Structure 1
Amino acid sequence: MHVSFDPWSPAFVADPYPAYTALRAAGRAHWFEPTGQWLIPHHSDVSALLRDRRLGRTYLHRFSHEEFGRTPPPAAHEPFTTLNGQGILDLEAPDHPRIRRLISRAFTPRTVENLAPTVRRLAAELVDAFVAKGGGDLLAEVAEPLPVAVIAEMLGVPEADRGLLRPWSAAICGMFELNPSEETAEAAVRASVDFSAYLRGLIAERRADPGEDLVSALIAAHDEGERLTEQEMISTCVLLLNAGHEATVNTTVNGWRTLFHHPEQLAALRADPALLPSAVEELLRYDTPLQMFERWVLDDIELDGQVIERGAEVALLFGSANRDPERFARPDTLDLSRQDNPHLTFGAGIHFCLGAPLARLELAASFGELLRKAPALRMTAEPEWHPGYVIRGLKELRAEV
């Protein structure tokens, strides 16, 4: 195991890419004792394993905890376990296809299309306010409020309640880091209880008085007589918020930090707005907001002569896969005009990110507004990274116009 892979080290979190280069050179699967996982660093393997049905986000559709050789989560974590376990991100067949199909009836391409004017309006308002005061913290004032407002708008959460969403989401997402502490778990459980209770109330209101929002559409969604249970609806709404803003926020600020460190690429983007779509894809690839995704091994697999047995867990290293020279020309070079860019930032296979079109819309809107309205935007201090490695982002990004 290569010693430089250290997800709890601030230096590693700030720049994991040299360690990934070493991991890829050293082989296709690496046992990492501190988390009891196999690290998978190559693009071809990560891509294939995301689609391989011998792996799963859960094992409970086939095995009990005991049969799988795993300890059940503590009873005290139950509110989080239930909330997380009923979301499509953590389910496999038969529940996953049924729930995803029902959600897809409510969350359609048309939903995203209809949201486009709202997304652009919200992005414009946030950027106007940021520019008017001469700059500030790009994370707190533009990157974060945009996706939270969009999801809140989509779910029909009243404006007065929107301040509740971000702290709940942050507390729950703490559980997705490696070996979370008991304190993190307690915060996630409290947030799960409060968020679930809030959504239960919202669902009851929409049952009595449906609107044009996604909660009303989820209540109405049915397919061959099947409907979502209340818990499935709650878990879906929480997942949409968590997945829908953590990655978008981090792509925005990590992306701006990357652009500030590559002034010639930023100048090219400012000179040619038509570059924006490929620039967004390249920023998603170059500094991946979600560095690692985990899968359980449900049936033995073999990688490069190494048998990884049922009951093991693999850690698919998205950040490494997206910099793999076997798949990307000059992978460590930021090239905003890159055309051949099959990055894995949104995943692949049955768990491919449902919100990818919405994320792309939000990113294009906020980057586009800032490029237009703050043509001299510059970073005023080198930002600090959050300690988290799996969901990797900055604490703040100070910039002035």
Structure 2
Amino acid sequence: MREVRSELAPRFDTSSPALRENPYPAYARFRAAGPLCRGGPAQWVVTRYADVANLLKDHRLGSQFPEEYHRFSLGDGPATEFLRRVILHRDRPDHTVLRRLTGSAFGPGLVRTMHEWIERLVDDLLADARERAEIDAVTDLGYLLPVLVICELLGIPADDRDAIRPRAFDLGKAFSTSVGAADRAAADDAVVWLRDYLDNLLAQRRRSPGDDLLSRMLTAEDDGRRLTHEDIVDNAVFLFFAGFETTTSLIATGSAALLQHPDQLALLRRQPTHIPHAIEEFLRYDAPIQSRLRLVLEPLRIADRTLRPGRVVLLSIGSANHDERQFSDPERLDVTRNPNPHLSFGGGIHYCLGATLARIEATVLFTELIQRFPTIEPAGPAVRQLDGAFRTYSAVPMRLLPR
């Protein structure tokens, strides 16, 4: 089936420095021009909320890309094999089984049992912040809290966490839309190292199981089917990465947003019951994951165009979250916004497994931060991180003055 064309759609360039620094004015122009933009080769970009929300759940789009697609982005190294195996890039029926087995180990019940432990961990982090007065919300809170939590869930020994974190950071480069040669090599090295580490840790769990996520993955079963050793290793690596990277970005962007909008910080101080709403607004206002890639499996009609199977569709989460057709005054940070049906955790069968964990961590952290420090102000300019797959900051300096 041929694509039906009208006038030439505008081009969406994900590598544009201006777009990476502040994409939201460009998103507004794209939405005004129409529901579709041109992306890279054989790629279309969907920009409006209603379309993105529906397509996240549409069975005519898949997440399991051909091997050639990953090779084009990453080459022939271990990172390509890793991406093809993880749950993020699997479709039915493999995804269904993998989701059930992984989800049974990573369910909300296990996460909620950690709530009190997360509160104690936040208490320790903020006690250290109290002594120092000036901290970086990224390195002192955003990195530490979610890494410690996901390590606890997986059962990774405390002595190994500093060695694992930089490898996980390098692994994140594999998820970028454009991966240079140096980043390819770093991602490949990270996959090899993390696989070897998790392989050894799983061997220990087989000899001596515990109540951690790795032990649960080893015994998880669905209609008599269990995860293969390779699936456990690569998806444990992925869960470690996904379990901290999104939350790190959420803490970074949320902290920056409050420092840039002191009126909203003051409102939360007066009305702390709005903090859960604020977490949702941080996710909407500056989503850590700005887009999701899908592969057209069946002919798909969007507005006046029919997209053929084999085309790649980029679902712009960041643009959808700022669509004036869905959100009133979308460019304004409103920590009382409720309801807030943002799309930052995706949708359909690929809805984020770690959403519950991210919400608990962020809610506990911002609640304690706001209650303990009556003065929270910038200690320097926030610095955007312009490389990588996530929209985040490399530094958010904060000055904290206790009561």
- For Structure 1 versus Structure 2, the TM-score category normalised by the shorter chain is over 0.9
Deviations 1:314-346 (A, max 9, x none): 111101000111111111111111112110000
Distance 2:38 2:130 in 1: 48
Q: CA deviation at 1:36?
A: 4.5
- The answer to whether the 8 A contact 1:148-1:165 is kept is no
TM, length-normalised to structure 1: 0.94
Tell me what 1:20 maps to.
Answer: 27
Give me the CA root mean square deviation: 1.7
Q: CA deviation at 1:243?
A: 1.5
Deviations 1:165-190 (A, max 9, x none): 22111111112212211111111000
Tell me what 1:202 maps to.
Answer: 201
Range 343-352 or range 132-141, more displaced: 132-141
Distance 2:73 2:343 in 1: 33
- The answer to whether the 8 A contact 2:101-2:221 is kept is yes
- The answer to whether the 8 A contact 1:291-1:391 is kept is yes
* Among 59, 67, 70, the residue aligned to 1:53: 59
Which residue type is aligned with residue 178 of structure 1?
T
- The answer to whether the 8 A contact 1:380-1:398 is kept is yes
Tell me what 1:7 maps to.
Answer: 14
- The answer to whether the 8 A contact 1:130-1:142 is kept is no
Seen in structure 2, the aligned counterparts of structure 1 residues 71 and 325 have a Cα distance that, compared at 3 Å, is: closer
Tell me what 1:295 maps to.
Answer: 294
- Structure 2 counterparts to residues 136-175 of structure 1, below 5 A: 136-175=135-174
Deviations 1:106-141 (A, max 9, x none): 122210111111211111111211121112211101
Q: Secondary structure at 2:306's aligned position in 1?
A: strand
- The answer to whether the 8 A contact 1:77-1:185 is kept is no
Distance 2:117 2:175 in 1: 30
Which residue type is aligned with residue 166 of structure 1?
R
- The answer to whether the 8 A contact 1:32-1:38 is kept is yes
Tell me what 1:236 maps to.
Answer: 235
Does residue 38 (structure 1) correspond to residue 37 (structure 2)? The answer is no
Tell me what 2:348 maps to.
Answer: 349
Q: CA deviation at 1:84?
A: 2.0
Q: Secondary structure at 1:51's aligned position in 2?
A: coil
Q: Secondary structure at 2:298's aligned position in 1?
A: coil
Q: CA deviation at 1:74?
A: 8.6
Aligned residues: 392
Gaps of 5+ in 2: 1-8
Range 373-382 or range 265-274, more displaced: 373-382
Does residue 319 (structure 1) correspond to residue 318 (structure 2)? The answer is yes
Tell me what 1:382 maps to.
Answer: 381
Tell me what 2:264 maps to.
Answer: 265
Q: Secondary structure at 1:172's aligned position in 2?
A: helix
Deviations 1:200-253 (A, max 9, x none): 000000000001111011111112211111111112212212212111111111
Distance 2:39 2:108 in 1: 40
Seen in structure 2, the aligned counterparts of structure 1 residues 335 and 223 have a Cα distance that, compared at 3 Å, is: same
Tell me what 1:330 maps to.
Answer: 329
Distance 1:97 1:138 in 2: 37
Q: CA deviation at 1:80?
A: 1.2
Tell me what 1:178 maps to.
Answer: 177
Which residue type is aligned with residue 212 of structure 1?
D
Q: CA deviation at 1:389?
A: 6.5
Q: Secondary structure at 2:287's aligned position in 1?
A: coil
Tell me what 1:83 maps to.
Answer: 82
Q: Secondary structure at 2:395's aligned position in 1?
A: coil
- The answer to whether the 8 A contact 2:46-2:314 is kept is yes
Q: CA deviation at 1:164?
A: 2.0
Distance 1:38 1:84 in 2: 22
Seen in structure 2, the aligned counterparts of structure 1 residues 107 and 75 have a Cα distance that, compared at 3 Å, is: closer
Distance 1:74 1:257 in 2: 32
- The answer to whether the 8 A contact 1:55-1:297 is kept is yes
Which residue type is aligned with residue 24 of structure 1?
R
Q: CA deviation at 1:25?
A: 0.2
Gaps of 5+ in 1: none
Deviations 1:286-321 (A, max 9, x none): 111111111111122111111111111111110100
Question: Which 4+ stretches in 1 moved above 3 angstroms?
Answer: 70-78
Identity %: 36
Q: Secondary structure at 2:327's aligned position in 1?
A: coil
Distance 1:72 1:153 in 2: 34
Distance 1:142 1:389 in 2: 20
Tell me what 2:396 maps to.
Answer: 397
Distance 1:229 1:242 in 2: 20
TM, length-normalised to structure 2: 0.93
Distance 2:265 2:283 in 1: 15
Q: CA deviation at 1:31?
A: 1.0
- The answer to whether the 8 A contact 1:8-1:387 is kept is no
- The answer to whether the 8 A contact 1:83-1:234 is kept is no
- The answer to whether the 8 A contact 2:13-2:39 is kept is no
Which residue type is aligned with residue 49 of structure 2?
H
Does residue 111 (structure 1) correspond to residue 117 (structure 2)? The answer is no
Distance 1:195 1:226 in 2: 25
Seen in structure 2, the aligned counterparts of structure 1 residues 119 and 39 have a Cα distance that, compared at 3 Å, is: same
Q: CA deviation at 1:77?
A: 3.3
Tell me what 2:6 maps to.
Answer: none
Distance 1:390 1:194 in 2: 21
Tell me what 1:280 maps to.
Answer: 279
